[in-house]
Structure formats: structure tokens, C-alpha cells
Chain A
């Protein structure tokens, strides 16, 4: 019986996936072993049979009917970003959370590095992850930072930039 590794190498030879050195060694085995040659012949026969097997399958639905289902599904999907659309549209979902995070980091740094006494505070409203409030008690200033355009249910409303 041929070793399993050799059996797989015979297959790899047929599929042109064997290294040149392995192919040379296997050629010697094939020359000496009729069982190995028989296996190669069988694998070749199966491969040839499958190659000649042109699947005669055609879609069992008319062009119009099949397309109508696809068209309906496409129209039910959220609008695709088509080629040539403004880059801003594609990057918006990425930019909003990143800029929010940057604002958080900046405010945290201000808090840590600011003067002593009652330092500034910031808070994020959980119901609106795009809004942050910054309060500096030493100057009595309040800054509300809003992402724009908004990604929530208030997106259609007029945006508020800064409240002092």
C-alpha cells in the first residue's frame, strides 16, 4: 500500500502543485511502483471526467421575474454610497466618533494640566453621545460641543454650535 503522504503527492503532481524537487523524487517512485501509476491514472480519469462536465443548469426563472426580486431587495436596502459621492459622506460615520473621542481626550488633558482650585468639568449626555459640555468655573464659561452633522434623531433640526 502506498503511504498516504505519497498518495497526496501524486495528487499534487496532477494538480501542478508539487515542488520541482518533490516532483523529481515522485517520478522515480512512479517509475518503480505500478500501484502508484494506477492511482495517478485513476485521479487523471476523474479529473478529466469532471472537466468535461459542463453544468447544464440554467436559472429556472425568467429574466424579468428574477430581476424584479433583485430590484425590490435593492430598493429595500439603505442607499448605497455610489462612486463619485462626496468623500465626506463615506467618512462621516468614521469621523464623528473619532472627533468625539479627540474632544474627550482634549478636555481630560485640560482638566489634568489646568490651574489648581476648582478645575473645569466636562460631561457627556448619555442620551446624546455627540454632545459634550465643558465648564470652567474660574472664568464662568460653559462650552457645549456638538458633532455635526448629528447622527441621532435630532439630525434634521438646526444645529447649535456654541452656547456661552
Chain B
């Protein structure tokens, strides 16, 4: 079967073919979902090189575990979960290796977000789309990986609190706190408040 033959085949059929060892079918699946996986890895890692490496690793793992894929979720969702887990493992390794900054410790202990001034009116109302995108991108960069991951999993992957807790290996209460902090800090950053205004 050639690549062209696969281009019109649905994911389910490609997965079945790949499960039987058809590499060309798997290559088509990679081509279809690679941007989505890379985007998810980038949104969590905020580093292009790491995102490429981790999405590549996810595809290799996906091939190895293809026999376990039962079709309960879409293939794209299943692969995205693999890349999310790889990113979390990498972020945990990085965290163990570095000395946490004072700010990160403060964030984890909570409290800052409770005193932040409420941003009214809607901080994003006046922004052009391109500017909004840029601000969101910058704001995501400024969050700690725990807060960013909670936000990414909830807003982009549409996971419920319980599912996020399971994925991040923490309690639902921690998920709620991280999500709350992340949103409040995002609101402040999007509104263009200076860091000292948040204290």
C-alpha cells in the first residue's frame, strides 16, 4: 500500500493496520496528528527543541503500545495523553534537578492569588487578536510548570478536575488551587499589570 492510498483512509482503519505492523499506516497517523502533539508538548514545555524531542518520543511509545489501544477514545486523544505524560515526567525530572526559586515556593504554598486585585473590566476586551495571542503566550511562559499544566489540561484538553488530579498525581484540592492561581495570574498578566501590582 502506498502513502497516497492511506491519505483517504480513516484513523480507525489506519490504527488497525498499524497494529498488525503496517509502518506506512502508522506514518500516515503521525503525519495527521504530529502538529497537535507538538503543540501540546510546546504548551507544556515552552521550549521548541524539547517539544520536538518529546513528541517524537511519544510517537515511538505510541507504536510500542499500539496493541493496548482499544479505541475507547480517539487515536489523537490517546496519543495526546502519551505526550502529556512524557512532558510531566520530564518536568518532574527538571524540577528535581533545579533549585526552586523563592517565587515558585511562594506559589506552591498558595496565598498570593487570594489577595490579587480583581481585574475589571474584562482584561482582554480591548486587545487585538494578535496582541491577545502574544500576551497569552507570554503569560503562559511566566507560570510555573504546575500551574501552566493545570491550565493547559483544563482549558485545552478539557479535562475535569478529577482527571487532571490523576494525570498530575495530586489531589483535586491541589488542582483547584493551581487552576485558580494560574487563572488569576493570567488575568493580571493579560491586563498588563506589573509584577509588583500582584503582591
Contacts and interface: CB of A to CB of B under 8 A. Distances in A.
Interface string B92-124: 000000000000000000000011001111111
Interface of B: 16, 19-21, 23, 27, 30-31, 34-35, 38-39, 42-43, 48, 51-52, 55-57, 59-60, 63-64, 66-67, 114-115, 118-125, 129, 132-133, 136, 151, 154-156, 160-161, 176-177, 179-180, 183-184, 186-187, 190
A101 interface: no
B52 A59 contact: yes
Interface in A63-86: 63, 66-67, 69-71, 73-74, 77, 80-84
Nearest to B120: A38
A59 B55 contact: yes
13 contacts: A7-B180, A12-B161, A41-B120, A45-B119, A45-B122, A50-B156, A51-B155, A66-B34, A69-B56, A70-B63, A80-B63, A80-B67, A82-B20
Nearest to B155: A50
Contact of B186 (A1, A50, A56, A71): A50
Say what secondary structure dominates the interface of chain B: helix
B113 to A, nearest CB: 8
B19 A82 contact: yes
B180 A8 contact: yes
B20 A42 contact: no
Contact of A84 (B20, B114, B125): B20
